[in-house]
Structure 1
Amino acid sequence: GSDAVVHREFDLISLSFVADGFNLPEAKGYVSWLDPDTLLLSSALGNGMATRSGYARTVRVWKRDADPLTTPVIFEAGLESLEVSGHSDRTGRSERLWFIEKRAFFEKISWIGDRSGPRTQIDLPRDASWRVFGDWLAVRPRKPWTVGGTTHPADALIVISLSSFLAGGRRFETLFQPGERRPLQSFFWNDGKLIISYLVNLVPRFEMFTPGHQEWTRRVLDTLPAEGTVHVWSFDAAVHETNGEVLVCAQDPITPPQLLLFDLNAAPSLSASAILKRSPENFDASGLVVTRHEAVSIDHELIPYTQVGPANGNGDAPIHLSAYGGFGISLLPYYNSPLGKLWLERGGTCVEANIRGGGEFGTRWHDAGRREGKRLAHDDFAAVAADLVRRGITLPRRIAAEGGSNGGLLIANMLTRYPEHFGALFCTVPLIDMRRYTKLLAGASWIDEYGDPDKAHDWAFLKEISAYHAAAPGQPYPPILIATTKRDDRVHPGHARKMAAKLQALGYPAYFYEASAGGHGYGKDNREQAAFISLGTNFLRSAIGFNDHLPEMAERVATQEGHLSSINNSFEQETK
């Protein structure tokens, strides 16, 4: 769905919407409860209430039966900020409100206050992340931070008494020190204890820290699942209500997700209290093996990737290759039901690359693949494709690559920069025109990641990854399907539309599909999402000669709900 949402009050006892309850029309933003009759509202709804990026510019106290458009504003930021938000904190002796102004994607200023507004600014690095519970403040610097006579490295986890910090104290205690390929991934409070997750060469690990009178006690949570993708979060949504229970979702490429309940206050021989739910096996994984490999990129950096497929091949394997490489997001091996059914079960091989720009190895890995480094992240992806050929797994004409959003930018650059590496490309909800991306929808909020094209210095490197400008005649471009949705309110569908039109005008085998719904995604419901995925996957299979067949569902959707065709004649109408 879209980023904009409708907020309505719902009764969990009667399982119905509350008559004349809180009801906020569609807009980007958040609400949080202050008490049964009061909400803290951060919303872009109303004239002048949105930032340039389209997100909330104010925080308001919204009383029951009051008009949200005229309710009192207690915190606001300028139009050039990214967004503001607020939330209540009941873990201390009395209610506290936290106010956050995001100046850029990785830059924020925080205040502590009350229902009248912010009172005290929190003196932390603007790119640091933090969590509070009671009188404890936990901080993760994004860059090395020298404070209190000590330099704490990026991605360390340090703690201090909040009251001491607000009084000027700066003597932090270190709970976690990162390593070369041992980055902190996340941390959260539960029942006064700090739970952290980190990776060791892409393998998930978890620890729990408990504050004491003199020092913190560390406990390795070594009975939690430790393969594939493992997410841990509190059973209770409200931090002040947590009691040691956590939910764990674990999966790997050939093992379906299962949801487990753990009690962290139980004996050290921690085991799951219950298996709450287990997903069915949606494809036949017999004979499949999961292996890890590393490709050598253009600057000799080692780029890890995970390969899933038959144990033995003939050097001509049909490959589905994907990656993301942006915003510090980590991609770990997971159970992909659609690709399992449409690709693996039919004898194909799936590969996921951990290129720079992601968070798999911490801030260093992310920073290496953003702004000037975004081109390098694309080089990483091409290096993985080349390594599959070098290892004798496949041939370039048998490699199909897919990516969406920031990954769509990646795929568009594979078309213009490395066409000889691929047999087909599927580019979804993409950024492509990097000269104008900041002018379209939420684009201005991503300047931290890509750079500002209105600055000459930044445009010098941005034009190198602006596939729309790089597309040229007479190149060996492989077939490409560019897909978007009409209601994408994050990445403007104009990126996809104009790229498809340009490629077709140049005579390339470029196809375009635009779903009528779905926001920044693949459809508004499971049926539409399945059809979108089926359409793209079968386009790739057909283009590389892998079981050339277009299922009935994909064909029906392509002809009735979108456009899988030449759009030269209708481009101007489509973009209006």
Structure 2
Amino acid sequence: MVARLALAAALVFAAAPIAAQESDAEDPYIWLEEIQGERALAKVDQWNADTEAVLTAQAEYPLAKAWARQILDDTRQIAMPDAVMGNQVTNLWRDAVNPRGLWRTATLESYLAGAPEWRTLIDVDQLGEDEGQSWVWHGADCLAPEYTRCLVSLSPGGTDADVVREFDIATGAFVEGGFTLPEAKSNVAWYDENTLFVGTDEGAGSLTDSGYPRLVKLWQRGTDFAQARLIAEGQQTDISMSGFSVLDGETRWRFVRRGPDFWTGEYSLVAEDGSLIALPLPRDAGFEAVLDGHVIAKMNSLQVSSAGWSAPMGALVAWSLADIAAGRSVAPTVIFRPSETQAVEDVAASETKLWVKVLDDVSGKLIELTPGAEGWAQRTMDLPANSTIQIAETSGKGDTAFVTVESMLTPPTLYAVPSDGAPEAIASEPAQFDAGKFTVEQKFAISKDGTKVPYYLVRPKDAEGPLPTLIHAYGGFRAAQTPKYLTAEPYRSGPLGLFWVESGNAYVLANIRGGGEYGPSWHEDALREKRQNSFDDFHAVADDLVANRLATPGRIAASGRSNGGVLVGAVANQRPDLYGAIISGSPLIDMKRYNKLLAGASWMAEYGNPDVPSDWAFMREWSPYQNMRDIPDVPAAFYYLSTLDDRVHPGHARKAAAKHEAWGQTFYYHEYREGGHSVGSDHEEDAKRAALLLAYLNCEIGTGAE
């Protein structure tokens, strides 16, 4: 309560309440959408200062920040494989000395032995210092099978827009006169060693309404980009167009993807002359991999073809690329059918195997599929049960999958999983806390429509009665939320989850609808006009905790990021009696204007189009910004974001904060200048954010048993 009063006293309140806005003309805060506007940034600076004045003065803040930095910079972290390329492995390493990272390589042999001998390729910090740029690493695409030439993507300040440069691994230097592209949201991939697929910002008409490339061109080495040959173009209303290639044995298959909306794609095979041959994948199918001359796709809806084949929702299906290239119409093969409790979450190919990560009631399993004359053989790999499994990388030569295994109380272990032997642990993160002090349970709540909603609950062992509780969820875009080690929970808040339970509180990860925990249907049940289901699921988890005397109304915090901003904004508006605080990171909030701000137009298949009256009729019911009210005792919000987020516009959080300020409601606000959609551009910023959030939660919903 001290923080509530202190922060409220520091803010300047408007004299009159503001009515809900239905049009841009009625919105008095639209000026806050000027990302670099002088007036807008001055307001941001004021809010940042007000928040820091309160929260950095809390006793736990310096301790939490130091502990977070120690965890994030721990040199005993796993050097995760970014890519396994022939006989070498690459990794981006970040620590206290290298906050932006070292991109480096080691031999596969030394890596598998658990003692990699690293050679630095790019020192991102040094490169930024030399070039006077705040470079953030966004990855490298190296051309198989030699893996000597790479397309390196670097972002100024962490935005989605990248600068692309060609790099030679053998010499450890950028290629003089090599391929380069200026800063843009480009789609770039290798066609062959002297040719690129390129879609980029070429000025008027080259980008879609969503701000992504509309054209796909082939750019030959040594020529001016103006001479690049156009091979495909999309419509202005599409999301994006892109080209890419996949090496399958000795064959390089090339493809073009057109994305009409977020959930549909049209794929074409690129013939040697540059012409396109349409793939027979359903528009809502997911292109997963290429193996043994087959394109593998996941069915996101039930398929019953007039050609005589069928496939259930969520199944993996394989088509012969040779038949497609020859114009032959041949039925595909269903190669994997998930059970009712399963969902295919990730698929990756190695030289002769297909690796499938499956969720079974949200627990991970790794399945190996092998093509053969008698069909696709299936084998479940022997890995720890009741864990979260992630496919980190697969080998291009040989058949080894690198996977991590972890749980909320067990730190990640990296396994090399060979096809012809037992999985072998090659690296593990150290325990950062005494797991024996806590318990983890998977529970199920019953939502408003009777749906069983799983959630994970972490509490101090032997704790009795209700505890202050932090519930994190996402609920959108088919993205499953699986339990991670507490130093990484909740997403993008670093070790906040650990700090919270170490303080004697409870942490919950809720698997609400909108994600992919139970396959495509779990997502579809929260699309567009069904969005309220995800909010009802979240309320059901909170109500279940209260009903079982595990939590108390008003001492529950709701946490969400990005799409999760819609979630926590909606649940706070709908049940202010239930929640005492909300954490809203890089959030979507104003759903009346989201499609006009940055990449927002690309998500209309998920939420709806607010410019269509019938869509706005259901969106208006839950849009957080339009449903904010001038009433006392609303949950105290903490908004964290980045000025340079070029995916979700910072205006969303800014305008919500302005309403809180005008109505005299308690809120906290922290906007970093850099970091992009991920917010933190280095460990210092990540540690600070975790400490601020812990102090905020302690101020607003207390700590320890009642």
Residue deviations 1:301-337 (CA, integer Å, cap 9, x gap): 1111001121222323121110000000011110131
Question: Could you say what secondary structure the match of 1:60 adopts?
Answer: strand
How many Å separate the matches in 2 of 1:46 and 1:227? 51
**Residue 536 (structure 1) shift:** 2.1
The answer to whether 1:153 aligns with 2:305 is no
Structure 1 residue identity aligned to 2:442: R
Equivalent position of 1:112 in the other structure: 269
Question: Could you say what secondary structure the match of 1:458 adopts?
Answer: helix
Equivalent position of 1:163 in the other structure: 322
Identity of matched residues, %: 36
Structure 2 residue identity aligned to 1:245: T
- Return the match for 1:465 from 619, 622, 625: 622
The within-5 A match list for 1:10-159 is: 10-91=167-248, 94-114=251-271, 116-130=273-287, 131-147=289-305, 148-159=307-318
Equivalent position of 2:435 in the other structure: 285
Contact 1:86–1:99 (CA<8 Å) still a contact in 2? Answer: yes
Q: Given the two structures, how large is their TM-score scaled by the length of structure 2?
A: 0.73
Note closer, same or farther for the CA distance 1:453–1:248 as it changes in structure 2 (3 Å cut): same
- More RCO (CA 8 Å, sep 6+): 2
**Residue 143 (structure 1) shift:** 0.9
Note closer, same or farther for the CA distance 1:198–1:544 as it changes in structure 2 (3 Å cut): same
The answer to whether 1:226 aligns with 2:226 is no
- Return the match for 2:403 from 248, 251, 255: 248
Contact 1:160–1:172 (CA<8 Å) still a contact in 2? Answer: yes
Contact 1:207–1:219 (CA<8 Å) still a contact in 2? Answer: yes
The answer to whether 1:313 aligns with 2:470 is no
How many Å separate the matches in 2 of 1:349 and 1:422? 14
Contact 1:61–1:71 (CA<8 Å) still a contact in 2? Answer: yes
Note closer, same or farther for the CA distance 1:532–1:489 as it changes in structure 2 (3 Å cut): same
How many Å separate the matches in 2 of 1:298 and 1:189? 41
Structure 2 residue identity aligned to 1:201: D
Q: Structure 1, unaligned stretches of length 5 or more?
A: 548-576
Contact 1:52–1:444 (CA<8 Å) still a contact in 2? Answer: yes
Deviates more, 1:280-289 or 1:331-340: 280-289
Residue deviations 1:244-302 (CA, integer Å, cap 9, x gap): 011111111111112222211x14xx221x51x32232333331111011111111211
The within-5 A match list for 1:198-217 is: 198-217=358-377
Equivalent position of 2:349 in the other structure: 189
How many Å separate the matches in 2 of 1:313 and 1:44? 57
**Residue 70 (structure 1) shift:** 4.6
Deviates more, 1:329-338 or 1:201-210: 201-210
How many Å separate the matches in 1 of 2:631 and 2:370? 64
Note closer, same or farther for the CA distance 1:455–1:340 as it changes in structure 2 (3 Å cut): closer
Contact 2:303–2:312 (CA<8 Å) still a contact in 1? Answer: yes
How many Å separate the matches in 2 of 1:301 and 1:460? 25
- What value does the CA root-mean-square deviation take over the aligned residues? 2.0
How many Å separate the matches in 2 of 1:316 and 1:224? 35
Residue deviations 1:193-251 (CA, integer Å, cap 9, x gap): 22222222122122222222233322222x13333211125433xxxx33201111111
Equivalent position of 2:525 in the other structure: 368
Contact 1:75–1:117 (CA<8 Å) still a contact in 2? Answer: no
Note closer, same or farther for the CA distance 1:14–1:423 as it changes in structure 2 (3 Å cut): same
Question: Could you say what secondary structure the match of 1:192 adopts?
Answer: coil
The alignment of Structure 1 onto Structure 2 pairs a total of residues equal to 537
Note closer, same or farther for the CA distance 1:201–1:69 as it changes in structure 2 (3 Å cut): same
Equivalent position of 1:569 in the other structure: none
Contact 1:111–1:118 (CA<8 Å) still a contact in 2? Answer: no
Q: Structure 2, unaligned stretches of length 5 or more?
A: 1-157, 488-494
Structure 1 residue identity aligned to 2:544: D
How many Å separate the matches in 1 of 2:252 and 2:171? 29
Question: Could you say what secondary structure the match of 1:396 adopts?
Answer: coil
- Return the match for 2:668 from 511, 521, 528: 511
Deviates more, 1:149-158 or 1:465-474: 149-158
Residue deviations 1:401-447 (CA, integer Å, cap 9, x gap): 21111111111112211111112111111111111111111001001
Contact 1:27–1:45 (CA<8 Å) still a contact in 2? Answer: no
How many Å separate the matches in 2 of 1:78 and 1:160? 27
Deviates more, 1:103-112 or 1:151-160: 151-160
Note closer, same or farther for the CA distance 1:188–1:258 as it changes in structure 2 (3 Å cut): same
Equivalent position of 1:496 in the other structure: 653
Structure 2 residue identity aligned to 1:155: G
Question: Could you say what secondary structure the match of 1:394 adopts?
Answer: coil
How many Å separate the matches in 1 of 2:204 and 2:546? 56
Residue deviations 1:329-383 (CA, integer Å, cap 9, x gap): 0111101311244212222221000000000001111000121111110111111
**Residue 104 (structure 1) shift:** 0.5
How many Å separate the matches in 2 of 1:200 and 1:44? 42
